[in-house]
Amino acid sequence: MSIFRDEISLAIMKGMGYSLTMLSSESDVIMAHSYKKLLPYIFRYPTKKFLVWTNEPRYDTFFRNEIKLPLGFPMIKIMNVYSKDVFWNNLHFLGSYHFDNINNLGIDINSELPNISLEQLESFNKKNKIAALFTYTLEQKTKLMKGGINIDLSRQRCEIAMAGYLRKQVDLYGNKWPANYALDNSGFGFEKQRPWWIEKMEILKGYKFNLCLENTAEPYYVTEKIWHAIQAYCLPIYSSFNSTIYETFPKNSFIDTVQYKNTDELLDYIQNMSTAEYLERMNICIDIFNKALALKRINYDQNTQEIITKIIDRILD
């Protein structure tokens, strides 16, 4: 589990009497990001303990916190986006993948953003358009049902992007879009030999708006998407559906797709937004960004300790 190789996590684990090994034969507990990855090891090591841990909603979609196998094989404990012990606030992807400073996602938690004035906005020379940076998924089966509700957002995100593109209101970036639709696959290709977020941030800085819905709607699953938009002084177009985002953001900060009857109403509102409203919303988002950074700095070590403790508690229960 490479995300726990940062120095803070390793020191905390060592202090609690645990260490990481990549050799399954030497481990007491075998971890993977999906139960399917664990099955071969369960048959080989039936006396060991097994744990699924992932912060990606599609790597493991079990909505229970354990899997009981037949014939006396060991139980698989589940810690995923849905188990309520992987995410418990909206800040987990603000400036890191779970407190891994090596991968800060292009956001320095020690560097706050100044508010933006009309003069500064004009100097940025941003396009009065929406940037959409993600993979085209309309031809894929992305539905994910939980409790009778489809919590997939990737299809809705693509539908909004396509509608905006046809209105010449959206610029598309990313993989698998129809021929000649996307300006570039920037932000997603690793062939450029630098972190993907560098290219993404450079693109966002040229736009006033960013369509940044999550892939999946689940409480406390808030990725870097909304934070990247704000970092680039780009007003987020986000969705509060089945989320806890308003625990962090006030109303009338980001543009919430849930508040509009349909895509045309949403796009019309954005197209007709006054500069005064744009600046007001943007500065509210910046204030929240800075408050969130302060919380992240204060609770950095404590939250890392909490992650490790939750994992150990699940292993031992």
The pLDDT, as a whole number, for residue 1 is: 46
What pLDDT does 17 receive? 87
Domain ranges of the chain: 2-86, 118-298
Between CA 86 and CA 79 the distance in angstroms is 6
User: Nearest-5° angle of CA 246, CA 127, CA 113?
Assistant: 50
pLDDT (0 to 100) of residue 97: 73
Which of 206, 207, 208, 186 has its CA nearest to residue 197?
A: 186
Q: What is the pTM of this model?
A: 0.94
Chunk the chain into consecutive blocks of 10 residues (it has 317) and report each block's average pLDDT, rounded to whole numbers: 69 86 91 92 92 94 92 92 94 80 84 97 97 95 96 98 98 93 72 80 96 98 97 98 98 97 98 98 98 90 84 87
Q: Are residues 210 and 229 in contact, defined by beta-carbon separation less than 8 angstroms?
A: yes
pLDDT value at residue 184: 86
Report pLDDT for 18: 86
Residues in the chain: 317
* Predicted pLDDT of residue 88: 93
Beta bridge partners of 32: 52
**Distance from C-alpha of 100 to C-alpha of 89, rounded to nearest angstrom:** 17
Q: Are 48 and 74 in contact (CB under 8 A)?
A: yes
The residue assigned the tokens 């906005």 is 121
Rg over alpha carbons for the chain, rounded to the nearest Å, is: 21
Q: What is the pLDDT of residue 6?
A: 74
Q: What is the dihedral of CA 134, 135, 137, 141, to 10 degrees?
A: -100
Question: How far is C-alpha 297 from the geometric centre of its chain's CA atoms?
Answer: 19
The amino acid sitting at 45 is Y
Give Cβ neighbours of residue 88 (< 8 Å, ≥ 6 apart).
220, 306
Q: What pLDDT was estimated at residue 316? A: 83
Q: How far apart are CA 284 and CA 96, in angstroms?
A: 23
Q: Considering the domain delimited by 118-298, tell me its CATH architecture.
A: 3-Layer(aba) Sandwich (3.40)
Q: How many helices (H) and strands (E) does the chain have?
A: 9, 12
